[in-house]
Amino acid sequence: MARFLLLFCVSLVTPPVALAQTPAPSPADGATIYVQKCQVCHGRKGNGAGAASAALDPKPTDFTLPAFWTIDVDERSRRAVRKGVAGTSMRAFSELEAAEVTAIVTYLGRFQPPPEAQEESAE
């Protein structure tokens, strides 16, 4: 019993061990992964006009359109990367780590049109 109390008291004053955290992805990581995995279909400018897009039906998503940037963009994008999109040529990239998916989703933000373009398309 005394040993239990001693261990219990020591556990109260011992700082918790920090768990290893996955480093946050950098913008460079997102750019690199986009070029390797996405650019061939979605294009360098994210407009769905990549080298492979001519042969695809339906065409790849155009990330420059205001309509893309509506509800739950990050979650929809994560799901599309992780699981693919049925009825399209968007395959699942299940081999990517969560941090890599986050890096791609963050990188897609560079294609978002300015707010005034989004307002004009809503009218």
- pLDDT, averaged across the chain: 85
pLDDT digits (tens, 9 = 90+) for 15-28: 555 555 666 777 78
Q: What is the model's pTM? A: 0.76
Q: Are 46 and 63 contacting, i.e. CB atoms less than 8 angstroms apart?
A: yes
**For range 70-84, the mean pLDDT:** 96
Compute the half-sphere exposure of residue 74: CA atoms within 13 Å on the CB side of its CA: 6
How would residue 5 be classed by pLDDT, with cut points 50, 70 and 90?
very low
In the chain, domain spans: 24-116
pLDDT of residue 85: 98
CA distance 38 to 100: 13
Asked if residue 116 has pLDDT above 90, the reply is no
Q: Are 42 and 111 contacting, i.e. CB atoms less than 8 angstroms apart?
A: no
CA distance 78 to 58: 20
pLDDT digits (tens, 9 = 90+) for 92-114: 999 999 999 999 999 999 999 99
Element (DSSP H or E) covering residue 3: helix 2-13
Write the CB contacts of 113 (distance below 8 Å, at least 6 apart in sequence): 64, 65, 66, 69
Which architecture does CATH list for 24-116? Answer: Orthogonal Bundle (1.10)
CA distances from 87 to 2, 57, 58, 77, 84 (A): 66, 9, 8, 16, 9
**For range 77-103, the mean pLDDT:** 97
pLDDT of residue 88: 98
